[in-house]
């Protein structure tokens, strides 16, 4: 809708819901009364300031001004006694949140994600506040005074040095990814379910983590100063996802088997040199889920690893001096590495196997000298799944896939014959992780 240069002149004072994505005016009409508004949503607007003075907005419950880059000031919200949700995502010109917010006793969710110029934040002692997002508020150096009833706290990529224990007593989710000044593992209550501490300066995971009975996800990736993981002496039944990629951890403790529900393990970029035997002990009925990911260097897969049942397993093994990723889903696979005779097979299983070579060398897969002419998987058709093979080239499997040469082969279900006959090749740049 096109507006005159002078902006919007009139809105009905009986409006209850006002949604205008991309609202083009700098403010609402001066004579507009918001008394009946229950929801105001002006996402992606050009608003600089909604109105001047205090409006009787006692019916307002949802207030959304996200992605409004010109917003420099919020109105006085002291009379918004029933406000439940306030979303101000990516309001990059906003420098402060009005003190009137501290009087909003029913406010449950406040999202200020990517308000990177935000410098002033009021005390928020509302007992109703459950969700607070201050991620990428880059100038946030001091933790604000907030409710102790907080359930979800998003503080990624801020300059905070610590999170007070007073606000973690009831937390279920804590996000501190990219908080490079955080050096200590936060003191967390037993209610925590998901904990994202990647790319922090944390050096130690306390042994008390095993007593967090509800913890399901722990991400410590990108913490190079973290060199060990504590012994786990009691079963962690809820723990399903552990990411230790790009840490300094050298080995996984044998007590790892107590993580009886673990289904995803990230170890890419660690000094670990072999699969821990505790992983063997975890195979079988103990794992109720369908995915374990382990990305490890090495020259061969242990014999015990070849006997998996219906699992999806990811392993990083230096089988050939190539820069290739092989991904295939098979009912039975036999690969033979001609250099050192390393042989492994996966019998009677539906398996995802990821093999990442660690060394760099430019190889043309269509060349007569390509090692892939000697490494041909024997694929037998599965009754309940399609068999396929995916080969991707590149000298760094975790770099931007768009910057890597990619050739994809699709092995069709039930295909037979030589590799060229059963594969269709295509160039592309999609890389699924």
> How does pLDDT run across 265-281, given as a tens digit for each residue?
888 888 887 665 666 56
Top pLDDT among 386 and 238 is at 238
Q: Tell me the CATH number at 248.
A: 3.80.10.10
Q: Which two tokens stand for residue 30?
A: 């001066």
pLDDT tens digits, 50-91: 999 999 999 999 999 999 999 999 999 999 999 999 999 999
Residues 377 and 424 in one domain: yes
Full residue range of the structural domain in which residue 262 is found: 152-296
Q: Does residue 408 sit in helix, strand or coil?
A: strand
Last residue of a domain, one of 97, 120, 147: 147
- As a whole number of Å, the end-to-end CA separation of the chain is 42
Count of the separate structural domains present in the chain:
3
Top pLDDT among 66 and 379 is at 66
Amino acid 165: pLDDT: 86
Amino acid 364: pLDDT: 39
Amino acid 5: pLDDT: 56
Residues 308 and 236 in one domain: no
Last residue of a domain, one of 296, 320, 341: 296
Amino acid 44: pLDDT: 97
Helix (H) or strand (E) holding 74: none
Top pLDDT among 1 and 404 is at 1
Residues 249 and 318 in one domain: no
Amino acid 117: pLDDT: 93
Residues 264 and 339 in one domain: no
Residues 197 and 122 in one domain: no
Which pLDDT band holds residue 142 (cuts at 50, 70, 90)?
confident
Residues near 276 by beta carbon (within 8 Å), at least 6 away in sequence: 251, 252, 254, 256
Question: Average pLDDT of the chain?
Answer: 71
Residues 64 and 108 in one domain: yes
Which pLDDT band holds residue 355 (cuts at 50, 70, 90)?
very low
Last residue of a domain, one of 296, 322, 356: 296
Q: For residue 402, is pLDDT > 60?
A: no
Q: Does residue 305 sit in helix, strand or coil?
A: helix
Query: What are the φ and ψ backbone dihedral angles of 390, each rounded to 5 degrees?
Result: -135, 120
Torsion angle defined by CA atoms of residues 247, 252, 253 and 258, in that order, rounded to the nearest 10 degrees: 110
Question: How much of the chain exceeds pLDDT 90, in percent?
Answer: 45
Q: For residue 289, is pLDDT > 60?
A: no
Residues near 422 by beta carbon (within 8 Å), at least 6 away in sequence: 411, 412, 415, 416
Long-range contacts of 241-245 (CB under 8 A, 24+ apart): 241/216, 241/217, 242/217, 242/218, 242/266, 243/198, 243/218, 243/219, 244/220, 244/270, 245/221, 245/269, 245/270, 245/295
Which pLDDT band holds residue 226 (cuts at 50, 70, 90)?
very high
Amino acid 329: pLDDT: 34
Residues 128 and 31 in one domain: yes
The one-character DSSP state at 282 is: H
Residues near 11 by beta carbon (within 8 Å), at least 6 away in sequence: 18, 28, 29, 32
Residues 424 and 354 in one domain: yes
Residues 28 and 68 in one domain: yes
The one-character DSSP state at 146 is: B
As a whole number of angstroms, the distance between CA 316 and CA 256 comes to 20
Burial of 122 (0-12, 13-18, 19+ CB in 10 A): middle
Residues 307 and 424 in one domain: yes
Residues 123 and 172 in one domain: no
């Amino acid at each position: 809708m096109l507006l005159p240069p002078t902006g919007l002149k009139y809105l009905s004072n009986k409006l209850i819901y006002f949604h205008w994505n991309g609202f083009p005016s700098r403010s609402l009409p001066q004579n507009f009364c918001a008394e009946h508004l229950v929801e105001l949503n002006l996402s992606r607007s050009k608003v600089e300031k909604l109105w001047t003075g205090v409006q009787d907005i006692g019916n307002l419950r949802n207030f959304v001004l996200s992605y409004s880059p010109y917003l420099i000031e919020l109105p006085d919200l002291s009379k918004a006694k029933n406000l439940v949700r306030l979303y101000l995502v990516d309001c990059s010109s906003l420098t402060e949140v009005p003190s009137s917010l501290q009087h909003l006793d029913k406010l449950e969710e406040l999202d200020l994600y990517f308000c990177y110029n935000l410098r002033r934040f009021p005390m928020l002692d509302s007992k109703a506040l459950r969700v607070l997002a201050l991620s990428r508020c880059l100038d946030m150096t001091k933790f604000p005074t907030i409710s102790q009833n907080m359930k979800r706290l998003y503080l990624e990529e801020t300059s905070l040095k610590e999170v007070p224990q007073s606000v973690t007593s009831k937390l279920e989710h804590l996000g501190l990814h990219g908080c490079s000044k955080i050096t200590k593992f936060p003191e967390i209550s037993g209610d925590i379910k998901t904990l994202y501490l990647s790319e922090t300066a944390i050096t130690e995971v306390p042994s008390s983590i095993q007593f967090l009975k509800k913890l399901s996800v722990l991400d410590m990736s990108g913490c190079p100063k973290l060199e060990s993981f504590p012994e786990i002496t009691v079963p962690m039944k809820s723990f399903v996802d552990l990411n230790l990629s790009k840490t300094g951890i050298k080995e996984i403790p044998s007590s790892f088997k107590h993580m009886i529900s673990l289904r995803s393990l990230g170890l890419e970029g660690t000094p670990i040199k072999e699969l821990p035997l505790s992983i063997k002990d975890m195979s079988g009925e103990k794992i109720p889920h369908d995915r374990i990911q382990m990305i490890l260097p090495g020259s061969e897969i242990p014999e015990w690893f070849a006997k998996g049942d219906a699992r999806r397993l990811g392993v990083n093994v230096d089988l050939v001096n190539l820069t290739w990723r092989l991904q295939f889903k098979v009912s039975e696979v036999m690969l033979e590495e001609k250099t050192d005779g390393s042989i492994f097979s996966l019998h009677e299983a539906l398996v995802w196997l990821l093999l990442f070579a660690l060394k760099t060398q430019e190889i043309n897969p269509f060349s007569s000298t390509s090692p892939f002419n000697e490494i041909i998987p024997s694929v037998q058709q599965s009754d309940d799944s399609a068999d396929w093979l995916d080969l991707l080239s590149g000298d760094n499997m975790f770099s931007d896939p768009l910057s890597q040469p990619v050739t994809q082969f699709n092995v069709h279900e039930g295909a037979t014959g030589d590799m060229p006959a059963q594969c269709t090749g295509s160039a592309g740049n999609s890389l699924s992780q």
